[in-house]
C-alpha cells in the first residue's frame, strides 16, 4: 500500500494528527464521536484499513481507551481521540495505562467546558485535568501543538515518548488548532525519528516498575505476562496491602518520567535574555503572541516569550530563568487561570506574573488585546 | 482406570486467596479440567482478561498464561482491542455479575452485538462479594444484603437470556452444583467461534449466604440443585411456578460471522479493490 509521500500538503489539524500517527507506526485506533475531535476517527477509519490497520468505533470513551490498551498489549501502537467530556470518562483508564505501563496516545481536542459547555467552541480548560485527572500519584506527559504542522510532528513525538517511557501520552490540542487548515511539510519518512518499545529477551521475567523503563512483551510471545492495575511487583504479581511494594512501584513509575523532565521538555523561545515583559503561552493562544511581541518591540518595549510545546512535566527551569530576566510575565489562556499558577510557582517571586484570561464562544485572545496588555504593564511601575 | 489429573500444571506457584467454600474453586477446577480434556498441556493457546471482583482473580495472576487484569467492568473492551489486533489467540474473560452485567453491562451487550470472538465466563454469586456483600443487579428479589437490609426491592437481571437476545453465538447457565454439565459446556464453548457466554450461579457463603439465611455451603448447593430447572421445561411451566427458580441449560447455539472475520474481510476488500 502506498504510504505518505514527502511533499507539501494543505491539511486540517485533525487530518495532520492522523497522518502523524500513521507515520509514527500507529496501526490501531478506537474512538467515540465527539466534536471537535470526530474528524480524527473519520480519517483513521478511512486510512488504517488501507495499510492493514484497524479502526473501530466503540460504545463509549472508556471502551475506546480500553481497546487501545488491549491492542497495545497485543503489540500495536495505538491511539484514541476525544474532547473534554470524553476525556473526563477516559481518566479511569489513563491511570490504568500509567500503572500498567501501557504505551498509548490520547488526543484531547479541547472545547469549552465544564460539562457539555459549548461543544463546538475552542477552550483551554483541560490543562490541569490532563495533569491531575486520574486518581492517585502519577506523572503525565502532555504535549501542546500550536499549528497544523505540529499536529503532525508532535503526534509523532507523542508516540515516541509513549514507546520510550511505556506510558500514556496526551496530545492536548484545541478546537482552533485541529479545525484550521494550513500548509504543512511532510519530510521524507526515513528522516522521521521513530522509537519502538524495548522488547524482552527470551527468559526475561521482570516487566514492571523499573525507573529505567522495563521491556514490554506482547501477549502471544510466550512470556506469560500478568498485567494488573493493582499494585504489583516487577513480575506482575499483585500485592494489595504491602506498603513497600506499593512505594517502590509508584515511586519508580513517577521517577521514570520526572527524572527525564529535561529530555521530555520542549519549548520555543525568543528574546528571553533581554526582556522587560515576557509572555508564556501554549496552543491556540500562542498564535497571537508573535504579532503582539513584534509590535511591542517596535514601540520600544523589550518583550520576549516562551511557548510551551510540552506542558507536563512542567518545564520549571526555563520559567525560572525567564523570571530572573523579565520584570513581568503575562500568561494568556482560554480559561480562568491554570498554567498561570504553575508559572507563578516556578518563578519564585522573581517576576510579577499576570494572567490574561478569556472564556466562551470560542473567541481567541487577539494580538491587539495582548499588545494592549503588554503596553499597559510596561507603563505601570509596580 | 484411574486418571491422574492436577490443575497445578496450569497454575503459577501462588497461594489462592478465596474464602473456604467459595464456588470459584469449583469453577477454576472445572475450567482447567475442560482445558485438560480438550488436550491442552498448557494455556499458551489462550489470553485471559478480567476486571475487578473475586472471580476476576481466577485467571489473574494464578493462571500460568498471559493475563490482563483491567479496571472494574472493562475486561471486554480491553479484550476487544487485543483480539482485533491479534486474532490468533483464544480470548477467555472471567468476571463476576457486578463486573460483567453491572458496571460493564454496556460493553457486554455491545460485544454480543458485534460478535466479539471471546468466551465470557461469568461467576454469578448474586452479590458484590469482594466489597462485603452489597446488592447486585443479579440479587434475587427480597434478599437481604448489606445495602438492602430490609430485602432487595428490585428484580434481578437474566444475563444468559440477555446475551442470547443481544446476539451471542452461545449462551448457557449452570450452577456450581452442576460441574459435569458446566465442564461439557466449557469444552463446547472453547471450540466454538464468536461471542460465547457461560453464566455460573455460584455460592458466596461469606458475603451472601449467611445474610440470606443459609447456614452453610451445603445448604446453598442444595438450593442450586433443588431450584434448578432445565430450560427445556420452562415452556411447560407457568410464570408463578418459575418464580425464584434458576433456569439452567443452553439458551442458544448458533453460527454468525464474527467481528474478526468481518474486519479482516473488509481490510482485504479495501486493499484489493481500493474501496
Domain ranges of chain A: 7-191, 268-379
**Smallest CA–CA distance from A51 into chain B, residue:** B271
pTM beyond cutoff 0.90: yes
8 Å CB contact of B85 and A54: yes
- ipTM tops 0.90: yes
CA torsion through residues B13, B16, B21, B26, sign: negative
b (16+ CB within 10 A) / e for B226-240: eebbeeeeeeeeeee
Best residue in B56, B67, B81 for a mutation probing chain A (most A CBs within 10 Å): B81
**Smallest CA–CA distance from A73 into chain B, residue:** B82
Spatial separation of the C-alpha atoms in residues B242 and B237, rounded to whole Å: 7
Q: Span A268-379: which CATH code? A: 3.40.50.920
The domain at B19-273 falls in which architecture? 3-Layer(aba) Sandwich (3.40)
State whether residue B13 sits within 8 Å of chain A by CB.
no
User: Which residues in chain B have their CB less than 8 angstroms from residue A216's CB?
Assistant: none
| Residue-wise pLDDT tens digits, B6-18 | 899 999 999 999 9
Which class does domain A7-191 fall in? alpha beta
- Selecting from A78, A92, A227 the residue whose C-beta is nearest the C-beta of B68 gives A227
User: Which residues in chain A have their CB less than 8 angstroms from residue B115's CB?
Assistant: none
Question: Phi, psi (5° rounding) for residue A310?
Answer: -120, 130
- Selecting from A30, A92, A219 the residue whose C-beta is nearest the C-beta of B71 gives A92
Q: Distance from B72 to chain A by nearest Cα, in Å?
A: 10
| Residue-wise pLDDT tens digits, B57-71 | 999 999 999 999 999
- Window 123-152 of B: residues touching A by CB (8 A cutoff) are none
8 Å CB contact of A238 and B69: yes
8 Å CB contact of B77 and A66: yes
Fold equal for A7-191 and A268-379: yes
State whether residue B115 sits within 8 Å of chain A by CB.
no
- Selecting from B69, B82, B267 the residue whose C-beta is nearest the C-beta of A49 gives B267
- Output the tens digit of pLDDT for each of chain A's 382 residues: 567 899 999 999 999 999 999 999 999 999 999 999 999 999 999 999 999 999 999 999 999 999 999 999 999 999 999 999 999 999 999 999 999 999 999 999 999 999 999 999 999 999 999 999 999 999 999 999 999 999 999 999 999 999 999 999 999 999 999 999 999 999 999 999 999 999 999 999 999 999 999 999 999 999 999 999 999 999 999 999 999 999 999 999 999 999 999 999 999 999 999 999 999 999 999 999 999 999 999 999 999 999 999 999 999 999 999 999 999 999 999 999 999 999 999 999 999 999 999 999 999 999 999 999 999 999 987 6
Spatial separation of the C-alpha atoms in residues A283 and A124, rounded to whole Å: 8
Q: Distance from B100 to chain A by nearest Cα, in Å?
A: 13
Amino acid at each position: 500500500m502506498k504510504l505518505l509521500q514527502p511533499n507539501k500538503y494543505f491539511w486540517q489539524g485533525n487530518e495532520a494528527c492522523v497522518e502523524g500517527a500513521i507515520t509514527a507506526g500507529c496501526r490501531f485506533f478506537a474512538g467515540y464521536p465527539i466534536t471537535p475531535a470526530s474528524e480524527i476517527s473519520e480519517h483513521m477509519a478511512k486510512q488504517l484499513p488501507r495499510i492493514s490497520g484497524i479502526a473501530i468505533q466503540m460504545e463509549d470513551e472508556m471502551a475506546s481507551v480500553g481497546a487501545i490498551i488491549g491492542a497495545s498489549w497485543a503489540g500495536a501502537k495505538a491511539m484514541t481521540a476525544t474532547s473534554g467530556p470524553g476525556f473526563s470518562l477516559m481518566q479511569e483508564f489513563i491511570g490504568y495505562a500509567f500503572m500498567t505501563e501501557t504505551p498509548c496516545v490520547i488526543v484531547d481536542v479541547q472545547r469549552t467546558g465544564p460539562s457539555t459547555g459549548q461543544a463546538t467552541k475552542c477552550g483551554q480548560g483541560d490543562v490541569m485535568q490532563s495533569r491531575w485527572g486520574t486518581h492517585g500519584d502519577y506523572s503525565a506527559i502532555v504535549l501542546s501543538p500550536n499549528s497544523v504542522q505540529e499536529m503532525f510532528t508532535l503526534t509523532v513525538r507523542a508516540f515516541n515518548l509513549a514507546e520510550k517511557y511505556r506510558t500514556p501520552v496526551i496530545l492536548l490540542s484545541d478546537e482552533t488548532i485541529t479545525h484550521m487548515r494550513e500548509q504543512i511539510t511532510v519530510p521524507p519518512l526515513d528522516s522521521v525519528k521513530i522509537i519502538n518499545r524495548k522488547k524482552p529477551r527470551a527468559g526475561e521475567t521482570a516487566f514492571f516498575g523499573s525507573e529505567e523503563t522495563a521491556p514490554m512483551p506482547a501477549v502471544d510471545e510466550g512470556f506469560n505476562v500478568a498485567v494488573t492495575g493493582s499494585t504489583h511487583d516487577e513480575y506482575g504479581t499483585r500485592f494489595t496491602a504491602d506498603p513497600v511494594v506499593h512505594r517502590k512501584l509508584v515511586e519508580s513509575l513517577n521517577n521514570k518520567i520526572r527524572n527525564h523532565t529535561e529530555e521530555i521538555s520542549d519549548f520555543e523561545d525568543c528574546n528571553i535574555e533581554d526582556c522587560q515583559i515576557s509572555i508564556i503561552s501554549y496552543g491556540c493562544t500562542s498564535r497571537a503572541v508573535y504579532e503582539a511581541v513584534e509590535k511591542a518591540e517596535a514601540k520600544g518595549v523589550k518583550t520576549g516569550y516562551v511557548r510551551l510545546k510540552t506542558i507536563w512535566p512542567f518545564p520549571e527551569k526555563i520559567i525560572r530563568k525567564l523570571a530572573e530576566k523579565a520584570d513581568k510575565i503575562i500568561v494568556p489562556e482560554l480559561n480562568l487561570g491554570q498554567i498561570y499558577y504553575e508559572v507563578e510557582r516556578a518563578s519564585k517571586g522573581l517576576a510579577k506574573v499576570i494572567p490574561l484570561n478569556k472564556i466562551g464562544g470560542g473567541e481567541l485572545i487577539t494580538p491587539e488585546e495582548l499588545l494592549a496588555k503588554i503596553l499597559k504593564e510596561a507603563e505601570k511601575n509596580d | 482406570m484411574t486418571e491422574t489429573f492436577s490443575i497445578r500444571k496450569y497454575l503459577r506457584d501462588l497461594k489462592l486467596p478465596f474464602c473456604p467454600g467459595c464456588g470459584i474453586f469449583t469453577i477454576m477446577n472445572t475450567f482447567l479440567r475442560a482445558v485438560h480434556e480438550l488436550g491442552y498441556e498448557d494455556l499458551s493457546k489462550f489470553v485471559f482478561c478480567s476486571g475487578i471482583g473475586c472471580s476476576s482473580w481466577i485467571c489473574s495472576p494464578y493462571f500460568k498464561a498471559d493475563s490482563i487484569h483491567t479496571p472494574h467492568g472493562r475486561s471486554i473492551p480491553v479484550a476487544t482491542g487485543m483480539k482485533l489486533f491479534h486474532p490468533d489467540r483464544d480470548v477467555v474473560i472471567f468476571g463476576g455479575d457486578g463486573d460483567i452485567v453491572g458496571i460493564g453491562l454496556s460493553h457486554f451487550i455491545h460485544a454480543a452485538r458485534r460478535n466479539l470472538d471471546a468466551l465470557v465466563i461469568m461467576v454469578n454469586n448474586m452479590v458484590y462479594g469482594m466489597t462485603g456483600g452489597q446488592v447486585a443487579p443479579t440479587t434475587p428479589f427480597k434478599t437481604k444484603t448489606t445495602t438492602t437490609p430490609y430485602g432487595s426491592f428490585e428484580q434481578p437481571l437474566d444475563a444468559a437470556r440477555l446475551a442470547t437476545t443481544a446476539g451471542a453465538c452461545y449462551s448457557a447457565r449452570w450452577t456450581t452444583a452442576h460441574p459435569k454439565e458446566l465442564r461439557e459446556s466449557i469444552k463446547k464453548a472453547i471450540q466454538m467461534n464468536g461471542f460465547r457466554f457461560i453464566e455460573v450461579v455460584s455460592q458466596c457463603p461469606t458475603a451472601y449466604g449467611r445474610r440470606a439465611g443459609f447456614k452453610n455451603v451445603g445448604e446453598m448447593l442444595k438450593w442450586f440443585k433443588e431450584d434448578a430447572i432445565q430450560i427445556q421445561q420452562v415452556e411447560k411451566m407457568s410464570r408463578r411456578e418459575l418464580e425464584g427458580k434458576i433456569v439452567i441449560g443452553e439458551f442458544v447455539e448458533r453460527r454468525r460471522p464474527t467481528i474478526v472475520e468481518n474486519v479482516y474481510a473488509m481490510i482485504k476488500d479495501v486493499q484489493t479493490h481500493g474501496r
